[in-house]
Structure 1
Amino acid sequence: MQFTSEVIIATYNKPDYLRLCLKSIAEQSQRPTSICLADDGSDARIDPVIEAFREAHPDLPLRRSWHEDQGFRKSVALNRAIAGSTCDYLVFLDDDVILHPEALARHFSCATRGRYLTGSLIRLDADLTGRLLEAQSYGWAEGRLAGWTPKGRSQWLKSMPFPSGVMALFDRLSPVAPNFQGACASVWRDDVLRVNGFEGNMSYGGLDKEIGVRLRNAGIRGRHVRYTAPAYHLDHGRSYADQKVKSANRAYILALRKSGETRAVNGIAELDAV
């Protein structure tokens, strides 16, 4: 199947993180057609990162979809990026993720109509994160992020310790529900438009899971690439997290499952009014 693809990176004022994320995309065995930064209002501090990437990789188009900083509006930023995309297939990442070199190839090879793909993050501790950010570099050792030691069997399996054909069995047999993981998920753009994108009324806490529920309500089922598309998450604080908001979001998602609703109330179609 031939299709165009775009990696959409949600970002906000984390230049050192973004630089490593972009590096991991440039080093993929199968690159996307283009990259888009869904920028939730970053200031000039990420400009040098963008300029340096464009200079180093003129063959990999990078565009920036930006809006004014008015607090946490990640969903709106993502919707703007989706609306401006001309590609068939979209991969969603956060700017704090380092992808295994074969991760995008796995997403692209599994892209199937009527499905979205979702991975799972390998969360790095603060010590290793600090060393990677200071070095502004990373390496791979025996297929895993150099310097990383898995904490338990689950993390170890997510690092793809066996050949991809074997790990694909783990994807199929996983008992974990394939909830949409916005830091490492992919879906056809037409399917995102069908459900009107992300819910712009939602702040931090479950906004990716919410769109996954609406996709499933629309008949678009999830599929794991949990064990075959490793994604390493750099540690950071979350000053924007609010437990009351997260609790309200959980209640909203539960109601959404029962209602069968498919379209975002404040989504892509409403962007002109934002």
Structure 2
Amino acid sequence: MPATCSLIITTYNWPEALNKSLESCLLQTITPIEVIIADDGSKEETRELIKSYQAKSLPFNLIHCWQEDIGFRAAQSRNNAINAASTDYIICIDGDIILHPNFIEDHILHAKKNQVLAGKRVRLSQRFSQRVISSNEQVSPVSALFYSERGRKNAIRSTLLSRYRSKVSRDADSVFSCNFSFWRQDAINVNGFNCDFIGWGAEDKEFCIRLINNGAVKKQLQHSAVCYHLYHPELSRQMADINQKIYDDAILKQLTHCKNGLTTMGTAY
């Protein structure tokens, strides 16, 4: 079990959602040593939001990793953050995710060597998401149960249920980078996320399957590491077929390494 961790939050031009995500980081029972914003080229409003948090007395170090906006490059933005991380263990979420207060604690408690963790999410309704963003209201398990659009059962946090329903496997099914954690050295060993992924696609699953091919197992968390996904319209899936082939090749060829990853990074600051 790691003593502490780094939390990576990916974001792109939605500071209102990122603000709610950062607010939830401040309510954690166990805080990460650092929160790293993996920014895929957001404009000044996001930078100003992050600066306003950095000016506060925070229980963690807040780091902003920004890269030029030349298209959807979530894989590279996460690699920027992995390179910037200073701890042994990394948790990934997206900038439209609000954390249950025990989210970080749950990931740390379940973490083991040679294992990655994949959690679930509650998809909040459009109306409730707008209400949360425009107010000081916090999402709770009760409100998530009432105002969820999908994944209502994922709002239930239970140590007992988690013990019996969380399963270990060697596949990347149900892996989403909005609730995922791994050891930093394991990520380095497989050369991080594959930057051949451009646009929406399975870059999180492909990363996970290379970790598995390299000796890890996946633990699918149930009723633990609860988080709430703010509503947004579906992203363009123009590159879905091309990206799916990259993932399929990693499975078919049992790849443990990608060429275009952590060691071939572009410029970020």
TM-score with structure 2 length normalisation? 0.91
Contact 1:126/1:236 (8 A) holds in 2: yes
**Structure 1 counterpart of 2:108, one-letter code:** F
What is the aligned length?
Answer: 266
Name the counterpart of 2:73.
Answer: 73
Match of 1:246 in 2: 240
Tell me, yes or no, if the aligned pair for 2:124 and 2:144 is still in contact at 8 Å.
Answer: no
Q: Which residue of 2 aligns with 1:185?
A: 180
Equivalent residue, structure 2, for 1:9:
9
Distance 2:253 2:65 in 1: 33
Residue in 1 aligned with 2:146?
Answer: 148
* 1:234 matched residue in structure 2: 230
Q: Shift of residue 55 of structure 1? A: 3.3
SS in 1 for 2:166: helix
**SS of 2:6 mapped into structure 1:** strand
Q: For 2:218, what is the secondary structure of its paired residue?
A: strand
Separation of aligned partners in 1, 2:152 and 2:255 = 37
What's the CA shift for 1:109?
Answer: 0.6
1:135 aligns with 2:131: no
Find the aligned partners of 1:120 and 1:48 in 2 and give their Cα distance: 31
SS of 1:137 mapped into structure 2: coil
Q: Which residue of 2 aligns with 1:221?
A: 217
CA drift at 1:151: 5.6
Structure 2 residue matching 1:144: 3-state secondary structure: helix
Structure 2 partner of 1:58: 58
CA distance in structure 2 between the aligned counterparts of 1:10 and 1:211, rounded to whole angstroms: 16
Cα–Cα, structure 1 residues 109 and 238, in superposed 2: closer, same or farther, change >3 Å? Answer: same
SS in 2 for 1:9: strand
Deviation at 1:255, TM superposition (A): 2.0
| Contact 2:168–2:218 (Cα < 8 Å) also in 1 | no
| 2-structure distance, mates of 1:121, 1:57 | 29
- Distance in 2 of aligned mates of 1:185 and 1:237: 22
Question: What is the Cα deviation at residue 133 of structure 1?
Answer: 1.2
TM-score by length of 1: 0.89
Shift of 1:251: 2.4
Comparing 10-19 with 54-63, which one deviates more in the overlay?
54-63
Which residue number in structure 2 is paired with residue 158 of structure 1?
154
- Any gaps of 5 or more consecutive residues in structure 1? none
CA contact (8 A) 2:168 2:219 kept: no
Aligned counterpart, 1:169: 164
Residue 96 of structure 2 corresponds to residue 96 of structure 1: yes
Cα pair distance change 1:146/1:253, threshold 3 Å:
closer
Q: C-alpha separation between the residues in 2 aligned to 1:157 and 1:120? A: 10
| CA-based RMSD | 2.3
Moved more, 64-73 or 128-137: 128-137
Provide the C-alpha distance between the structure 2 equivalents of 1:55 and 1:273, rounded to a whole number of angstroms. 25
Post-superposition offset of 1:178: 4.9
**Cα distance change on mapping 1:114 and 1:57 into 2, 3 Å:** same
- 2 CA distance for matches of 1:132 and 1:58? 22
Cα–Cα, structure 1 residues 144 and 31, in superposed 2: closer, same or farther, change >3 Å?
Answer: farther
Q: Which runs of 5+ in 2 are unaligned?
A: none
> Post-superposition shift, 1:177?
6.1
Contact 1:215 1:262 in 2 (8 A): yes
Write the deviation string for residues 198-248 of structure 1: whole angstroms up to 9, x where unpaired. 010102111111101111111111102232111110011245x234x1122
